[in-house]
Chains A and B, each alone.
Chain A
Amino acid sequence: MLKKWHYIFLFFVVLLVLLLLRLPLGTAGKFKLAISGLFLPLFGLSNSTHQWLGQARDALVPRRELLRQIEQLRHDNEDLKLRLAQDAQLENENARLRSQIGWARQTRWRLKPARVMARDPANWWRSLEIDLGSRDGLCTNLAVLTPDGLVGRVQSVSEARSQVVLLGDPNLRVAAKVAGPGPANAETGIIMVNSSMPQEEGMIDLDLLSGASGVEPGQSVLTWGAGGVFREGIPIGTIVDKRPKEYGLSTEARVKLAANLSALEEVWVILP
């Protein structure tokens, strides 16, 4: 059935694919983003349809419900204003104390909202694409989060889009700490995926805790700040349970993620 020219053609196709598979990481990332750019019209269409449906749904909300929501938002706004005023005082106090003991002043996060365009179609990766790129000031290794907590890290960037690798993907490891009563009591470990165990939705492993770890269910897990990718103090989740590993030399804890990764529509990127 296959003729001679078929085999010659196949040889070149296989050669081309092998060359593509051998591309350096950066080049491959740019190549992939260039190809996925072909999907932009469809993503635009999908976005417009989504917006149109949202507007149609909004038009059906009764006036009474809208007034109730406005009243609720007004109340929340006043509450937040009061908290902001209090936080400003605390910030000043914090800055003054830091300067007295010679600690570096913490900078505020510069956040940029992004819309989730697509999810990884392969079942063995956890990633998504967002509608921000290098023209919006993004570069690789920026933290991506929601108001609930950490979501992931920017993996590759094109001009208008970026690929984000999510928590729970084997390519993402995060240095994390379990919030204790004081900074000296914070236990540290690595958020990673233990591939031999089935992963429940919204759960992740905190590995390499010390063997005599005293972490308890319900304690908060935050980014540690070591490694230079994630800033310190971004919420990750809460401890669910723990078990000893390697004959008690280390401890592994399961963490319930604060952010719901399966229902992401909008995320925030911390700009450098």
Chain B
Amino acid sequence: MKWRPTIFVLAAAFVAVFLEASVGLGRKLLGAQVDVLPALMVYAALTLGFTTIVLLAICGGLWFDSLSLNPVGASVLPLLLIGLLIYRSRELLLREHLFAQVVLGVAAGAVQPLGTLFILLNKGQTPLLSWLTLWQWLVIALGAGLVTPVCFKLFDRLHRALEYQPVTQTSFRPDREIKRGRG
């Protein structure tokens, strides 16, 4: 397992949670705070390994819950579920396609709050739910859909900048070389 991409993804999750808590721009403009963790999970599940998915779910979920009134651990299982569902069928998903990235981001952004709400309600919590919640859900899902391709672009560029690229195979074969001249 390569640790560098995992560390980058975890660092991005850490900074994303911090920004969600300290910069309330989305909340002021749209009435809902967009969550970046589902988008990061889509990237991790399509690109990185099983351990990264589990680490991102645990660390990201715990960081998010630590700054929230959510019971500790409430966000971990929905993130893990998203990651595993995508990881299981990642051979079938067209990772490079923008459309696939956006659709997966929207789906992950929609599933994450639903999963957390399911856990909260089963725990007997009474979160603030109203018709406005539907709007917030829509904003979160669309926001995650928009952020997902950005994550792919950003991490792919980072990967290209910091990792050794594989040497491309040329079509040149010495045994098929046309020798010119008499020698």
Residues of A at the B interface (CB closer than 8 Å) are 1-2, 6, 9-10, 13-14, 17-18, 20-21, 23, 28, 31-33, 35-36, 38-39, 42-43, 46, 117-127, 129, 155, 163, 165, 168-171, 193, 195-199, 262
Q: Which residues of chain B (136-167) have a CB below 8 Å from chain A?
A: 136, 140
Which of the 9-residue segments B1-9, B26-34, B94-102, B175-183 touches chain A?
A: B26-34
**Taking each of B32, B76, B128, which has the highest tally of chain A beta carbons within 10 Å of its own beta carbon?**
B128
A125/B131 contact (C-beta < 8 A), A21-B119, A42-B15, A118-B22 known:
no
State whether B69 touches A155 (Cβ < 8 A): yes
Least CB distance, A36 to chain B, in whole angstroms: 4
A10 B54 Cβ-Cβ under 8 A: yes
Map CB proximity to A onto B12-50 as digits: 1 under 8 Å, 0 otherwise.
001101101110100110001101000000000000001
**22 contacting pairs across A/B (C-beta < 8 A):** A1-B91, A9-B50, A13-B57, A13-B58, A17-B77, A28-B72, A32-B66, A35-B62, A36-B67, A118-B21, A118-B22, A120-B67, A120-B68, A121-B20, A121-B35, A122-B69, A122-B127, A123-B133, A124-B128, A129-B67, A163-B69, A193-B128
| B67→A118 contact, CB < 8 A | yes
Q: Is the CB of A20 within 8 A of B128?
A: no
**Contacting pair B132 A199 (CB below 8 A):** yes
Cβ–Cβ contact A9 & B54, under 8 A: yes
Would B130 and A23 count as touching, CB distance under 8 A? no
| Contact of B128 with A126 in the complex, beta carbons under 8 Å | yes
A35-B63 contact, Cβ under 8 Å, with A17-B77, A120-B68: yes
What distance in Å separates the Cβ of A129 from its nearest Cβ neighbour in chain B?
7
CB–CB A13/B54 < 8 A = yes
A102 to chain B, nearest CB (A): 43
The distance in angstroms between the C-alpha atoms of A13 and B64, with both chains bound, is 17
| Structural contact, A13 and B28, CB atoms closer than 8 A | no
Question: Are A170 and B128 CB-contacts (below 8 A) given A17-B73, A20-B72?
Answer: yes
Q: Closest CB-CB distance, A151 to chain B, in whole Å?
A: 15
Contact partners of B126 in chain A: CB under 8 A = 170-171, 195
Main secondary structure of the interface of B (DSSP, over half): helix
Q: How far apart are the CA atoms of A170 and B130 in the complex, in Å?
A: 12
- With an 8 Å Cβ cutoff, the count of chain B residues facing the other chain is 55
Cβ contact of B80, chosen from A13, A36, A119, cutoff 8 A: A13
Cβ contact within 8 Å between A262 and B69: no
Find the B residue at minimum CB distance from A199: B130
Specify the chain B residue showing the minimal Cβ separation from A20: B73
Q: Give B115 Cβ to nearest chain A Cβ, in Å.
A: 12
Query: Are A119 and B50 closer than 8 Å at their CB atoms?
Result: no
How long is the Cα–Cα vector from A197 to B120 in the complex, in angstroms?
20
- B66, A36: Cβ atoms under 8 Å? yes
Residues of A within 8 A of B22 (CB): 42-43, 46, 117-119
**Is the Cβ of B130 less than 8 Å from the Cβ of A195?**
yes
- Considering the complex of A and B, which 3 residue pairs feature the smallest CB-CB distances, nearest first? A124-B127, A20-B73, A118-B21
A123 CA to B127 CA in the complex, in Å?
9
- Choose from A9, A23, A121, A165 the contact partner of B67 (Cβ within 8 Å): A121
Q: What separation, in Å, do the CA atoms of A251 and B84 have in the docked complex?
A: 50
**Which listed residue, A14, A20, A38, A120, touches B21 by the CB 8 Å rule?**
A120
Besides A10-B80, A171-B126, 6 other A-B contacts (C-beta < 8 A): A13-B58, A35-B66, A43-B18, A117-B22, A120-B21, A121-B17
CB-CB under 8 A from B32, the residues of chain A are: 123
Task: Judge whether B173 is part of the interface by a CB distance below 8 angstroms.
Answer: no
Complex Cα distance A122/B115, Å? Answer: 13
Q: Roughly how many angstroms separate A219 CA and B140 CA in the complex, as a whole number?
A: 38
- Nearest CB on A from B142, distance (A): 14
Least distance between B20 CB and chain A CB atoms (Å): 4
Contact between A32 and B132, CB atoms less than 8 A apart:
no
> Does the CB pair B67–A38 fall under 8 Å?
no
CB contact list, B91-129 vs A, under 8 A: 91, 113, 116-117, 119-120, 123, 126-129
Instruction: Give the complex CA separation of A44 and B178 in angstroms.
Output: 68
Q: Tell whether, in the assembled complex, residue A168 and residue B128 are in contact, meaning their CB atoms are under 8 Å apart.
A: yes
Shortest beta-carbon distance from B56 to chain A in Å: 12
